[in-house]
Structures are given as C-alpha cells and as structure tokens.
Structure 1
Amino acid sequence: MLLTATQSLAFLAAAVLITLSPGPDNLMVLSLGASRGHKRGMVFGLGCALGCLNHTLLAALGVSALIAASVVAFTALKIAGGLYLIYLGVRALKSRGSALAANNGGGSSETLRALFLKGLFANSINPKVVLFFLAFLPQFVDTAQGHAGWQIAQLGLLFTLQAAVLFGTLGYFAGRVGQWLARNPKGGLWLDRVAGGIFVGLGLRLMVSR
C-alpha cells in the first residue's frame, strides 16, 4: 500500500520546514561548507541525510511492534514523544535565533568518503533523532489503510530524500547562506519561531490523538 498524494504532500510540507529550521545538522552543513568548500559541505550533508534511514528502520519496527503488542505502551510512547516535541518547540520559541558555528578556516585533509561517513555516523547515533522520528512519522500514518510499519518506512524514505536534496543544496550554497545569516540575525530568529510552533503543535496533536 503506497502513501496517498494527500499524505505525501502534507508530510513533505512539514518535513521541508523542519529540515530548513535552524538545527544541529543543517548548521553543521553550513559551517563545514563555508569553511571547507562546497563539495565537502554537500558530501557531509548527504551523509547526515542518509543517517535518517537508520532512524526510519527503528521507527518502523518500534511503532509496528507497539501497535501490535500493547495499547498502553503505544500511549506511553505518544505521551513521551509529544512532551519531547513540545520541549523542542518551547526551546525554539524562547531562543534568540541560532548562530553559525565559527569558521575555523582553511582546507581539510579529510577525504570526501571520511566526511560522508562522519555525517552519516553523527546523525545515526543521535538518540534525540530516534525519538523525534518515533514522534513525528506516526502523525502522518493513515490507520484506516493498515500496514503502519510500511507507511512509516515510506515516510522515512521520503524524509531522507528531501533532506538529501536540501542538505546537498545547503552545502553547495554554504558560503552565500552563511553570509546571509551573519548579516540577518532576525532570519534565524524567524525560522526558530516557525519551527517552535510546528513542534508544539505536533506534540499536542500526538498526545491527544487516538
């Protein structure tokens, strides 16, 4: 059972906004691209994006098992995930805007393969991203269609693809984007406010959903 067009478009709209909002991954891509060049920024960004496949697998297996085995366990997961999303949202709403990491300058002796694996590893082992995927992906599952695990796998793949495109683009234009953020601190502030509202809304929706 493939995702419906409505599911895919709604999910992509939210995923793109969340991916573009200031956060550790895209800020690392911007910083690395600005300091080490467009090619290295793109490769590192692609590594970060493909790390989402690990979280997709965990989310698909974990949510499917919870749905099949325990209503209580799944409710507990929804509450924990909802509270975590609200926590992220409140932090974003209270922030004064994100700043780029300092440019450490110069070239790098790291190979493209090493940078790709570095991005992949950094994303794959992040436990907060695991919890985020468990909380975010089920929002767009249509329970009437069944096969929740398969739907989550498709959503995760869609998230990974759009993240690969956006992170690769951020890496390529890292120099220009970094300069714009440095000149326009209110841009980061505005994106934080949008992201905060999305996180809080999704967290509340997750906690009250049936």
Structure 2
Amino acid sequence: MMLPLDLLSGFFAICILLALTPGPDNIFVLTQSALSGRLAGVFVVLGLCTGVLVHSTAVALGVAAIVQTSSLAFNALKILGACYLLYLAWAVLRARPEPLDVTGPTAAAQKQKQHKADYFRLYRRGIIMNVTNPKVSIFFLSFLPQFADPARGSVAGQIFVLGGFFILSTLLIFGGIALLAGTIGTHLRNSARAQNIVNKIAGLVFIGLAIKLATLQQ
C-alpha cells in the first residue's frame, strides 16, 4: 500500500492549517504551558496526539460512525467532555501560586517526584480532552476517508497512515505553541500575582470551552 506523494503533501498542508486554527486543543496547550511550563505543555501535546490515534483507530474500525448517527452517544460524549472541562476550570481556579524558592535535597527530590506525577496527569488530560470531543470524532470520520482509496489496498491501513501524518502536524504546531507559551510562562511564574491572573484566565477559558462543547449540535 502506497499513498501518492502529492496526496500526502496536500493532506499534510491541510493538517498544518487545521492545527493553526484556534480551537479547544491548542488553547488547552497554550494555557497549560503558560501555567506549568514548556515540558508540561509537551506532555499535553503527547496526550492529544494519543487521542488522535484513538480517533484514527475508531474511524478505521467504523466506531466513529456510531457517534455520528446516534444522538444518545453524541450527547453522552459531549456532556462527559463538558463536565471534564468544568472540572479542569474548578481545579485551576482553586490552585494556589507555587513556591518560587525550594531548597534542600529532600525538597528537591519531592518536587521532582511531584512533577513526574503532574506530567502524567497532564498527559492523561490531553487524551481525555481529545477523546471526549464528539466534534473531533465526526471530523475524523468525514475527513480521513476522503483521502483513502480502496484501489490502493487496505482502507484501514491508509487511515492509520493519514492519522500518523495528522499526529505529526499536531506535534509540530502544538509543540511550537507549548515551547512559546512555556517561555512566556517562565516569566509570568516569577510573580505570585501573575500566577493568580493566569489561573483565572485559564479557568474562564475552560468554562467557555465547556459551554461551547455542551451546546454543540450534532
């Protein structure tokens, strides 16, 4: 199975443009990178990319068609996603500024252990954010098959290849957002007042995204 180079390059260009378009995922990367640093943003991106893999698999297996045709599945998924966004808003709004100066080997070890746990949590959040958005699954169902042709062999195999290119575009664009926002966030986190402001902004963003997802029509 070989996909034509011109098709792959055109598909990849579309993916780049889609990744650059403001939406819940890149806003999520932006806010988390500013709040928790570049590496935290990268773990969010990895979680989102894992979610893309889930969506690609669902399309390849035909599972996404259920979400598109079933009102119950669609509404259940969007309510779950909206509730999770509200949970994130609640968590970030009640978060306190992190201590800026932590000294001593014991404190440093504890901080390193905490960071590892936080990174895994952010990775998991990225997956849940992406997977619980029914708009994404329907988009993949309508978008990826347009570039697959049964005459080239396994359609499922082609879907996975296209999904891989979508993941690559996500890594490039969202990774760049994470690095840029993380750099800005480094300066913001030098001030407890700035941390409080960023937390409030992030909380409002999550609430707005939850409302937008909850009111999404099939």
By the TM > 0.5 criterion, same fold? Answer: yes
Percent of aligned pairs with the same amino acid:
38
Q: Partner of 2:130 in structure 1? A: 123
The counterpart of 2:170, out of the listed 154, 163, 188, is 163
Q: Deviations over 1:149-204 (max 9, x none)?
A: 211111012111221232222111115689xxxxxxxxxxxxxxxxxxxxxxxxxx
Counterparts of 1:5-154 in structure 2, within 5 Å, are 5-62=5-62, 106-107=97-98, 111-154=118-161
Q: Which deviates more from structure 2 when the two are superposed, residues 125-134 or residues 22-31? A: 125-134
SS in 2 for 1:3: coil
Q: Partner of 1:96 in structure 2? A: none
SS in 2 for 1:51: helix
Supply the RMSD in Å over aligned alpha carbons.
Answer: 3.2
Call closer, same or farther: CA 1:164–1:50 in 2, change over 3 Å: farther
Q: Report the structure number with the largest CA radius of gyration.
A: 2
Does the 8 A contact of 1:15 with 1:159 survive in 2?
yes
Q: Distance in 2 between matches of 1:5 and 1:135?
A: 22
Q: Distance in 1 between matches of 2:50 and 2:98?
A: 25
Q: Which runs of 5+ in 1 are unaligned?
A: 67-76, 80-100, 179-210
SS in 1 for 2:62: helix
Q: Distance in 2 between matches of 1:154 and 1:175?
A: 31
Q: Distance in 2 between matches of 1:177 and 1:127?
A: 32
Q: Which runs of 5+ in 2 are unaligned?
A: 70-88, 100-113, 186-218
Please give the TM-score of this superposition, normalised by the length of structure 1: 0.60
Call closer, same or farther: CA 1:9–1:107 in 2, change over 3 Å: farther
User: Match for 1:36: what amino acid?
Assistant: S
Q: Distance in 2 between matches of 1:16 and 1:138?
A: 18
Q: Deviations over 1:46-95 (max 9, x none)?
A: 211221000000111118xx8xxxxxxxxxx7x9xxxxxxxxxxxxxxxx
Please give the TM-score of this superposition, normalised by the length of structure 2: 0.58
Call closer, same or farther: CA 1:107–1:32 in 2, change over 3 Å: farther
Q: Which deviates more from structure 2 when the two are superposed, residues 47-56 or residues 136-145? A: 136-145
User: Match for 1:111: what amino acid?
Assistant: D
Deviation of 1:123 after TM superposition, in Å, equals: 0.9
Q: Deviations over 1:107-127 (max 9, x none)?
A: 496611111111112212222
